[in-house]
Amino acid sequence: MGILENKARARLFYRYLSKVYDEVNPFIWNEEMRDRALEWFDVGSEDVVLDVGCGTGFATEGLLQHTEHVHGLDQSAHQLERAFSKFGRHGPVKFYRGDAERLPFGDDTFDALWSSGSIEYWPNPVAALREFRRVVKPGGTVLVVGPDYPRSTLFQRLADAIMLFYDEEEADRMFTEAGFETFEHHIQQRRPGSPRAITTVATVPRGSEDGRGGKEAAETEATGTADDPVEV
């Protein structure tokens, strides 16, 4: 497990990174890559969407071009403060502070779920993906963007020491263990030689009650409901 696959260390990391995140992010994950992923996501104007690991709101801005019903969740108070500065605390997006592995929402709350640049910090990615399947309605779309595993042995060792990097085979395993049956992977890259992203688009199975039925909203560091956003 990498040093940043620890929630406390990840929060500390983002306490400082949040100050320059919007300047650094385009070198790895830019608008063109985001907009291409939004085409695969394919949400409608009335769809209610959750953005997990919303950070400062880069993906949130793109989602708002497709639907007005966007909710954002992040574990970092500092990242959320930057998001508040863009959208306001009572603006078009409802924000929550919480944990991807223990989402503070009931079953089948959302039509679709987006998560970009967050999975690499989760200690238990399969648990988070199961939570995604739980809170999204059957037939809904879950899109997850993470860092593709480096091809160089040297960079592989460095990547493994820092946080989660994974390839398509590992993505297959994680999504299958989480109960997804239909999914596809896309490799994205800002330019040749730059870090690659692996974008998975999955469909929540229909007619499956496994891991969904009757589960109450999970507790997090701060809890809330879709009508009662937790502000930091």
What is the tens place of the pLDDT at every residue in 34-72?
999 999 999 999 999 999 999 999 999 999 999 999 999
Mean pLDDT of 136-141: 98
Band of pLDDT at residue 23, cut at 50, 70 and 90: low
- CA-CA distance, 148 to 30, in Å (whole number)? 16
CATH number given to 7-202: 3.40.50.150
Q: Is the pLDDT of residue 229 over 50?
A: no
Domain ranges, ordered by start, for the chain = 7-202
Band of pLDDT at residue 218, cut at 50, 70 and 90: very low
Q: What are phi and psi of 67, to 5 degrees?
A: -150, 150
Q: Is the pLDDT of residue 122 over 50?
A: yes
| Residue-wise pLDDT tens digits, 161-172 | 556 678 999 999
Q: Are 59 and 71 in contact (CB under 8 A)?
A: no
More confident residue, 214 or 127: 127
What pLDDT was estimated at residue 24? Answer: 60
pLDDT-above-70 percentage for the chain: 71
Mean pLDDT of 179-197: 92
**Lowest pLDDT segment from 43-47, 91-95, 135-139, 192-196:** 192-196
Q: Is the pLDDT of residue 174 over 70?
A: yes
At 116, list the tokens: 């970009």
Mean pLDDT of 65-89: 93
Highest mean pLDDT of the ranges 13-27, 59-73, 184-198: 59-73
